[in-house]
Chains A and B, each alone.
Chain A
């Protein structure tokens, strides 16, 4: 891994320039603008290892742990350029979730053992949070962990576990106690080796007939005590705390931006810009996207000034995911009779994956806290409405 300089000392523009140049020169062209939203590790391993070698795999980890040590403002630049250049999403639960959690709450032994294995790609992580009856209401989770000698015995089931079928470690929320007055108490964070006997992964084909999420079953799985993060029964606060400024990226305009460029391509090919009705609808979508950029900037500015995000940032996630849906809905309208087909639509400027995007756009309004959950957060946390 190359030694890192103090990136935060550079201007945003200077950093953008350096980052873009290297990424554009090194990210394999076959991996750009992939149709698949969540490729598995092997499909993008080359890019993962290139980034790791450069020391750019992990933008926000402190440099002492092998990260770039970017502040929030530089991280925004990193993510923006990544999207602009069409780099593929890599399996990033180790980088974005387990790593930050261990850096903040892990023991020295946990950090020394796990962090390098994330960077090397030896450990590929997934996130074991949701359960069949604990989705939006996550605190009702029931996967049990019962103390047993030097560890715990885990039984239960997780679901919607993204990329579990290519992961070998899972960051697991378990129920270690149900005695407390609040359900949030009694939850424990555990690091679980998925090769342990008793762990079964079953992929779930999604709406796009791809498998990027799974069910994970735990049948008397032994987890050593050394793999508990933080205190037993105190995991809820940890799981919450790890989401910091990254919440802004749930509202980053890159998905609707990509979709509207494809809509424009299709519309030019089909002569839709000659149709006043289409132009009016397109103009609304175009301005919504433009204004999403202005709203995103409103929050990005807070971060660049060293501030922290409040619950109000959820407004971006709601608007962004709903705009993405509206754009893809318009694509099908423009496609007309061709909206009956599964395959990408050919145009004079290349294929347009209208159906792929239409189906994909159902997901962001659900994951990361459904838009109804987000509205509840805004109602309580921003408008101060009574419960």
Chain B
């Protein structure tokens, strides 16, 4: 048994898996990872455009704004397949997170961003976190029709390639989500390389002025949009990490079957076998946790779905990180080289695991939400 075992009555999920497999033949994941890293890029625009052509970027956006209107199961299957293929463009942030924010917003500016996001012509990057990862709204002051923004936001994906940012700001205790064009006056970008061969940025706003129609959502709907984006993206990340976990164990099984020492394949040694079994077991549990989250969320949002998503992200994160780490060890000295792909899977796993909450933090959120301590 392997893969995300989800009901697929009309074959959509199978088509998505095939679509990623075909894509990976054109754009090899590990090669693309190294090329982007070595070029110091934050995004491979060629790959990104091809992903738009494949119809993946607006997968979960509602049809009213030009998306495919598909559900969480489709997103999970897509993300899982991308994880397996190590196609490491920041789809979780630039498509899923940004897409959920836009889906919850309204107005002409929202429509323009959604069109660009789906087509791959606009790179819409969410910016809302402080250094510690928590929401850190900019200070917004209202000047007539305009809004003036001050402050700094961290962990922003594709900070150099972005054409637009969706930023979190606060005025008088009210949260708002605003559209800010890259290159706006007073906005500066500091990019730093990431473990997974891309760049993240810190945005500094010094009296950045945006017009009134830049507001995409405010008040409770801004808060709700952000919460929904975090939850949906966590699930996509969980699926992607479940894919990394499954691929890493497959590759390690293949390697240890081929690698001969003492006249035997090292996979014939019991100590190696039991380690491989434990890795495989962790990957199975990650898949099961993701399926559970997809199905629980499909039954509707609420406490049960919140718990299921927290569990899935924690489980898949632990699985992907520890499996890839153990996989490097089982690849021996070869595993310590940059030429060996397994190390790239580990780096990607660590980076995704650190995104939107590490396992322990998520587990603590889970038990607090469940409330058995009282």
Contacts and interface: CB of A to CB of B under 8 A. Distances in A.
Q: Say whether A associates with B.
A: yes
Contact of B311 (A267, A291, A297, A387): A291
Given A294-B291, A379-B273, A283 B366 contact: yes
A51 interface: no
Interface stretch (B96-104, B110-118, B203-211, B274-282): B274-282
A264 B366 CA distance: 15
B105 to A, nearest CB: 33
A7 interface: no
A283 B257 contact: no
A383 B253 contact: yes
Contacts of B366: 283, 286-287, 290
B353 to A, nearest CB: 15
A33 interface: no
Contacts of B291: 294, 298
Contacts of A318: 281
B288 interface: yes
A264 B372 contact: yes
Given A282-B367, A386-B265, A287 B311 contact: yes
A307 B173 CA distance: 56
A61 to B, nearest CB: 28
Interface stretch (A21-29, A82-90, A172-180, A370-378): A370-378
Nearest to A380: B273
Contacts of B292: 291, 293-294, 297
Contacts of A363: none
A283 B364 contact: yes
A7 B257 CA distance: 48
B201 to A, nearest CB: 32
A385 B273 contact: yes
Interface of B (DSSP majority class): helix
Given A379-B274, A386-B265, A301 B5 contact: yes
Interface in A295-340: 295, 297-299, 301-302, 310, 312, 315, 318-319
B289 interface: yes
Contacts of B274: 372, 375-376, 379
A241 B71 CA distance: 42
B373 A386 contact: no
A280 interface: yes
A218 to B, nearest CB: 34
Given A286-B363, A287-B363, A378-B277, A385 B253 contact: yes
Nearest to A374: B277
B320 interface: no
A1 interface: no
A221 to B, nearest CB: 38
A208 interface: no
A279 interface: yes
Contacts of A312: 1, 284
B14 interface: no
A315 B367 contact: no
Contacts of A376: 270, 273-274
Nearest to A299: B1
Q: Is the interface of A mostly helix, strand, loop or mixed?
A: helix
A287 B312 CA distance: 9
B364 A295 contact: no
B315 A315 contact: no
A268 interface: yes
A291 B288 contact: yes
B370 interface: yes
B314 interface: yes
Nearest to A301: B5
Nearest to A382: B280
B267 interface: yes
A385 B267 contact: yes
B285 A283 contact: no
Nearest to B373: A273
B213 interface: no
Given A287-B315, A385-B253, A298 B5 contact: yes
A35 interface: no
A386 B268 contact: yes
Contact of A283 (B5, B253, B363): B363
B284 A375 contact: no
Contacts of B28: none
A113 B59 CA distance: 64
Given A295-B284, A385-B253, A379 B363 contact: no
A284 interface: yes
B307 interface: yes
Nearest to B256: A385
A283 B360 contact: yes
Interface string A336-357: 0000000000000000000000
A295 B268 CA distance: 28
Given A283-B363, A283-B366, A386-B267, A291 B280 contact: no
Interface in B247-283: 253, 256-257, 264-265, 267-268, 270, 273-274, 276-278, 280-281
Interface string B112-143: 00000000000000000000000000000000
Contacts of B370: 286
Contacts of B364: 279-280, 283
Contacts of A301: 5
B291 to A, nearest CB: 7
**Which 6 residue pairs of A and B lie closest in terms of their CB atoms, listed nearest first?**
A273-B373, A294-B292, A283-B363, A379-B273, A295-B288, A294-B288
9 contacts: A286-B363, A287-B363, A290-B366, A293-B292, A295-B285, A298-B284, A383-B276, A385-B256, A385-B268
Interface of A: 264, 267-268, 273, 279-280, 282-284, 286-287, 290-295, 297-299, 301-302, 310, 312, 315, 318-319, 372, 375-376, 378-379, 382-387
Given A291-B289, A312-B1, A386-B257, 18 more contacts: A279-B364, A280-B363, A286-B366, A293-B292, A294-B292, A298-B291, A301-B5, A315-B285, A319-B281, A319-B285, A375-B273, A375-B278, A379-B273, A383-B277, A384-B253, A386-B267, A386-B268, A387-B268
